[in-house]
Structure 1
Amino acid sequence: MAYRFLTSRVVPSSNRLSRRSLFIATLCLSFTYLCYSLLFCSDAIMQSEGDEPHRCLLLHSAAATKKLLQKSSSYYCTPSGAPDRRSNSSAAGAGAAKFGNKKLPNAIIVGVKKGGTRAVLEFIRIHPDVRAVGTEPHFFDRNYDRGFDWYRGLMPRTLDSQITMEKTPSYFVTREAPRRISSMSRNTKLIVVVRNPVTRAISDYTQTLSKKPDIPTFEVLAFKNKSLGLVDTSWNAIRIGMYILHLENWLQYFPLSQIHFVSGEMLITDPAGELARVQDFLGLKRIVTDKHFYFNKTKGFPCLKKPESSSLPRCLGKSKGRTHVQIDQEVIEKLREFYRPYNIKFYEMVGHDFRWD
């Protein structure tokens, strides 16, 4: 009726050709409008969540579009046109159950620099119940003002049955670190990898020298007066090895039972034994065993055997196992004498003789 009324008012009845042309033009316009509507609504599906109210209004615009949107979108609309995210919440819950959530760490390797912390991290990460950050976050010494939400965001996703772990060796000598970690959780388990302080200092210097070749000699930096044997304890490479002083700071906030000490020397000669004790400390089943290691004679320390996901064995980076700078034996003896009383107190405190003297 509308068509006849429109054509009778606009075009004389005798002009059938003009009437047919108008009919075709009207049909083309209607088809174009329908296509435009479908394309516009399909585009709405791909928009961000900020366009959800508009998307839901479109849902009510046409029956065909409604079916299309319901099939393509995970959102549903209430009678008022507001989005209902029940299906999205269910998907998020399923994802969390499958992949886990980002959580603050249960355990932290807090030290010490050039002691073997990277080896401990890489070895313990073999365990299926451990997920760890690969890089050093430096949250409790350099980035604390960023807040715990930022820190949590760096962590890998873990299941409830898994342990979240990170390592930053400078924490052990950072005065504020024990208090800050304690404020996160008093139940945090702490791992400290220690090594003969003299060897550690030489290794520390060797690393610095590789980056800054123009620095003074080891002897110049290590002593205020070499002839008198006065050691410069302000030099960080020397001060880090005074383990008992740093440990006393940690014991103000954590009981000794929550701190596990790994021997850097034993980590080289018996990595499976050291990792067994680390797993016990973390409450894990002993899955990382001697079958995972082989000794690399070129590097001078253990490497991981071929993982299932790789065709090659995995060793630590090129910077690990570098040849140390040659130090005069007299200098070494003076440093051993300097560290001896600190070492003895440290042995007594932790209840273990590391045999560095």
Structure 2
Amino acid sequence: YCIMIFADLRRLLHRLTIASSLAILCFSLVYLLTGCCESDLRENSEIKPPQHEFLVSGWPYDRNGTSVYKDGVSAAGEGALYPGETGTGPPGLDTNSSGKDWTATRRLPQALIIGVKKGGTRALLEFLRLHPDIRALGSEPHFFDRHYARGLDWYRSMMPKALDGQIVMEKTPRYFVTVETPARVHAMSQDVKLIVVVRDPVTRAISDYTQIISKTPDIPPFESLAFKNRTTGQIDSLWSPLWIGLYAQHLERWLAWFPRTQIHLVSGERLISDPAGELGKVQDFLGLQRIVTDKHFYFNKTKGFPCLKKPEGSSKPHCLGKTKGRTHASIDPEVMQRLRDFYKPHNQRFYQMAGQDFGWQ
């Protein structure tokens, strides 16, 4: 009986040995095959690196709209508010392999918002920065009026990085009224596109004065500064808030260097009442697809001007800062009428130069 049990155990041990050997053999084969495949994948990945390193679905923007490139540098400025809604894919990208270089670089601007102060330039810039094909500097560099001696290399270094096909731009409202600026801009580029936001010069002057008193509250009243002689009613047209509103005089200097077709005038009033309409015209002027539309805006009754609907990933809408939409200083109605009479011939001349009536009273 013991001999029989021993024989059975021997047979069982033999079977287990065979099964273990087969298992080890199968495991070795699987390991070898897996290792070969992994090696092939590694070789292929070394030969064919990823073409692009875009963040989400091939779009070169993070959820705040800031462009992020392969060198890890974030370009200044905001991009599209709703990048996934455009349906066009990343700006400037082709679906076929064209061999183009997608590295972002700093370039001199192809478009400038040159004026005017308190006309709505900040709003226009922020609205334009929703467009994925626009890379705009957020701050005002004041290159052509204050820092021209620093040279174009310094100016270029201030610009945000942009891909091929994107338009680089900046805004400095002082450019429009600075005498030397048109010639300096022309020396940089004869093809640059110029944008001017204009507004009823009387309203603009009061807004300008309101900003001044917010910083220096001890200055004289608006009425005393606006007149050389209050008794005779002689206007002081050299006082900066009034001088800036002489649009025809300033535009004439620019037309000496650039054709009218390269200068686009934006109505500051319509930028408030119909932002999408004005933005559509600006996008046409820049040769861009109309991507920024009325779906991007809502009207804020408290501030009195349009704001941007909440961006993706944010729970709050975006309005301009507290320095925008201030309550204007109260001005004597008689002074207001005298200013309107003063500006009337200047406005008419400006309408003729502009080829449009802005409807200022």
Equivalences for residues 196-235 of structure 1 within 5 A: 196-235=200-239
Q: Distance in 2 between matches of 1:295 and 1:158?
A: 31
1:309-333 Cα distance to aligned partner (Å, 9 max, x none): 4221100010000100000100000
Return the offset for 1:229.
1.8
Is residue 99–residue 157 contact of structure 1 (8 Å, CA) maintained in 2? no
Tell me the CA shift for residue 257 of structure 1. Answer: 0.4
1:264 aligns with 2:273: no
Q: Could you tell me whether the CA contact under 8 Å between 2:111 and 2:169 is conserved in 1?
A: yes
Q: Secondary structure at the match of 1:136?
A: coil
Q: Which has the larger radius of gyration?
A: 1
Does the 8 Å contact 2:102/2:164 carry over to 1?
no
- Aligned partner of 1:285 among 266, 282, 289: 289
Tell me the residue number matched to 1:127: 131
- CA shift at 1:97, angstroms? 3.6
Please name the residue that 1:182 is paired with. 186
The 5 A counterparts of 1:163-182 are 163-182=167-186
Match of 1:194 among 174, 198, 212: 198
Q: How many residues are paired up? A: 265
Q: Which amino acid aligns with 1:284?
A: L
Say whether the 8 Å CA contact 1:129–1:161 is kept in structure 2: yes
Identify the structure with the greater helix proportion. Answer: 1
> Are 2:330 and 1:326 aligned?
yes
SS in 1 for 2:253: helix
* Counterpart selection for 2:245 from 241, 244, 252: 241
State how far apart, in whole Å, the 2-side matches of 1:123 and 1:310 are. Answer: 17
CA distance in 1, matches of 2:169, 2:101: 20
Structure 2 matches for 1:10-21, cutoff 5 A? none
Distance in 1, Cα, partners of 2:238 & 2:260: 27
Contact persistence 2:246–2:346 (CA under 8 A): yes
Deviation at 1:99, TM superposition (A): 4.2
Q: Which moved more, 1:200-209 or 1:308-317?
A: 308-317
User: What SS does the aligned partner of 1:295 have?
Assistant: strand
Amino acid at match of 1:122: E
Q: Which residue number in structure 1 is paired with residue 347 of structure 2?
A: 343
The aligned amino acid for 1:346 is F
Instruction: Give the TM-score normalised by structure 1.
Output: 0.73
Match of 2:277 in 1: 273
Do the aligned partners of 1:189 and 1:282 also contact (CA within 8 Å) in 2? yes
Deviation of the 1:154 alpha carbon: 0.5
For residue 140 of structure 1, what is the aligned residue in structure 2? 144
For 1:192 and 1:142, the matched residues in 2 are separated by 19
**1:138 counterpart SS class:** coil
Match of 2:315 among 303, 311, 314: 311
1:8 corresponds to which residue? none
In the alignment, which residue of structure 1 is the partner of 2:107? 103
Which residue number in structure 1 is paired with residue 37 of structure 2?
Answer: none
- % identical equivalent positions: 66
Shift of 1:98: 3.9
Alignment gaps of 5+ in structure 2: 1-69, 75-99
**Runs in 1 of length 4+ with deviation above 6 angstroms?**
none
CA distance, structure 2, for counterparts of residue 216 and residue 120 of structure 1: 32
- The one-letter amino acid paired with 1:253 is W
The Cα of 1:234 is off from its aligned counterpart by: 1.4
Contact persistence 2:134–2:167 (CA under 8 A): yes
- Structure 1 position 240, deviation (Å): 0.2
- 1:76 maps to what in 2? none
Amino acid at match of 1:247: L
